[in-house]
Each structure stands twice: as C-alpha cells, then as structure tokens.
Amino acid sequence: MGQITKRSHKLSDGRDIIYFDDADTVLPPHRGEDLRAPAVRPPTATMRQDVLTGEWISIAAARQNRVVLPPSHLDPLAPASPENPSEIPSLYDVAVFENKSPSFGPDLAGAAAPEGLDDLARVGLGRSRQSVGRCEVVCFSPEHTGSLAGLPLSRMRTVVEAWADRTAALSALPGVEQVFPFENRGEAIGVTLHHPHGQIYAYPYITPRTAQLVRTIESYGGSLFEDILSFEQKSERVLIQGEHWTAFVPFAARWPLEVHILPHRHVPDLAATTDEERDEFSLLYRQLLRGVDALYDSPTPYISAWHQAPVHAHRDDIRLMLQLTSPRREEDKLKYLAGSEAAMGAFIADIPPETAAARLRDAMEAASRPPRTAGLEPFRTELPATEQEAAQP
C-alpha cells in the first residue's frame, strides 16, 4: 500500500484547502479549481473578557449566517457540482479547509490582537481583544451521510493523519496558544450539517478547561497522567488496552457515556505521535465508535474532543488525551445541563461509571459479531500484533 498524500490548494477567496489522499486512494492527483466568484471574508471577531471569571468570550456574529441542515443536493461539504458550488471543488478522501465564518481568525495579528498570555491573564472591566487564530473544517468523507464509525480502516488512518498534520501546522502560526481538534456528532449535540465532519480551533489563549488542568497538576504533581493511566488500567472500567493506547470510562465520569483514551507514553499532542501509535489508534477508535453506535437502535450523539498541551507551555506535564462524551442516558432520554450543572458547574451523574463501562463493553462485543457487522475486527481487551499490522497504511 502507498502513503497518505497531502495536497494544498486555495479557494477562490484565498482560504486554504488541503486534501489528504488515502494510502490506497483511487483518486487522481489533480484537483479542480474553485470556480466560485471571490467573496469578501467577514472581519475577525472580537473577544470580550468576563470579569467574573477572567475568561474570554468570542463574539462572532457572522456565524449567524451558517447553513442549517441543508438538503443533500445543497450540501456545502460535498464535492462541488454545477448544481452545488460547494466549499470543496473536487472529489476527495479527506479534506480540510478554513471555515468561511470562523470564531477565531482569519487575522493572526493586528492592533487589537492579544499581547501574549500575560495580557490575557489581566482582569478588568470592558476589556476586549481581536479573536485572532484559525478555525478549520475536517471532512471525513465525500458522502453526505455516514460517520467515522463506518469508515474503512484506511480512511480512519487518513483522518488521524490530518489531525496530526493540522495540529503541527496550526501550532506554528503566530498568536496561537492551543489547538483543539473535535467532532460534534448528531442533532442532539447541535450540529448544523449532516455531512460527516469535524473541526479544529486554534485559540489565541489557553482554554479554561486546560487552565484548570494546569492548576490541578501544580497541586498534584507532574506524574498526574502517568498515575491516572496506571490507576485506570487496574480497574473494571477499561474498554480496550493495546500496545500504545488504553480506552476507559473514567472513575468520576460526568456524562451517561464518557470515554477517555490515553497514550501509554507521554506525548503533548497529536503531532508528537508516531506512525505506529496512529495506526493502532485508528483501529482502536473505530472499534470504540462502533460499540458506541451499537448501544441503541439509532446512532449515538456525542462530542469527541482532543485535549492537547498548549503550544508554548506545560508540554512536559499535560499528556494528549481524547475524551468522548454523550448526553444520551437511555434510548429516548438525554441528560440536560440544568441548574446545578449549567449554573454551578456541579455535575450529578445518573449512571455509575462501572455500569456504563460494562454496557459499552457488551455493545462493542455485539458490534464485532457477524452477520450484523460482518468484517469488523473482533473485540478484544488487548489488540494483538496482527491487528496492529493490519492498520498499517
């Protein structure tokens, strides 16, 4: 099999679009031009500081004009056609492009840009800064419907490669302090496009969740992630354990469905992972997602979030981690963030984490059994070497 290939192009308004071709692609190397008339991009949004918390809120009014759940023939993430001049000019395997109406960017500097983390850490009334940075869309497939769980293994590996490549590229941009790849899946989460896709945000600050993690590490010590991994690997909450990664339901899960995946060695972000680690993750993650979808008779809504170390700080302490959460607590019931969670940030869990782990292990095993899902790798607590080799691109 060949290698995953990256091809960089420009859209008609100057935005970047990057094609990632599968290692076993059948696509030709040529990519068509964006034939749309150039359009003026909206101005970079403004951040305002919440003086009660010190957090920064991006006011991105252009997002109000986003397309919401369009019919398939007007899908903006499908390959362009005469009837549908979409965001992506050519047929593709995986495509990444700059968001047309971003929450951060397109400017990376300016008179009102943040003057570093010390500037953003100061708290005062009426403080505002430009929302410099970048937002990108990651399209997992040219098909209008589908999911990561349904991708062939080669395509899943291409998606992982795109995440790693873009993490490195965005981390190198001036003014970017943290890079966040994520996927919102399902209308219950609030998605506005059915097309299987995710996003990447490049923030001009260290996010509140990561800032809290830094405070925890300062209190606990630098071995936090190593100790978490050792603690969870000994528990009944482990879902899959391979040579390079372990997936588990965390001891203090907030959500009805919550899974964390940690690498076995310290790496600060996806760009620092090896080919072997990306290979195994592609296989492990696809098995996990198929189990998630086997829990019920309809696809499970979720948020899948890559927590990465900041670009310029705490890289020796914060370990790369994927966190997948879903508000779905039963076939027809969702957990809503009501008074205690939304107002106070004090979560009350409805399902014991050990119970959630047992349900998910059963679902993963069921998803691996033919004929319902013929062709899937059988579920195992550990991934043997033969399956790791099968994941090679």
C-alpha span between 240 and 233 (Å, rounded) = 10
Residue 151: both structure tokens together: 């991708």
Residue 49: both structure tokens together: 């500081």
Residue 197 known to be catalytic: yes
Query: What does residue 98 show for φ and ψ, rounded to 5 degrees?
Result: -65, 135
CA-closest candidate to residue 156, choices 393, 367, 378 = 393
C-alpha span between 105 and 45 (Å, rounded) = 7
Residue 137: both structure tokens together: 């869309």
18 neighbors 97 (Cβ within 8 angstroms): yes
Neighbour count for residue 41 (Cβ, 10 Å):
18
C-alpha span between 105 and 101 (Å, rounded) = 9
Query: What does residue 321 show for φ and ψ, rounded to 5 degrees?
Result: -150, 135
Residues in Cβ contact with 52 at an 8 Å cutoff, skipping those fewer than 6 apart: none
C-alpha span between 318 and 308 (Å, rounded) = 7
C-alpha span between 197 and 183 (Å, rounded) = 7
Instruction: Name the active-site residue from 197, 244, 260, 266.
Output: 197
Neighbour count for residue 340 (Cβ, 10 Å):
11
Give the CA diameter of the chain: 62
Catalytically annotated residues: 197
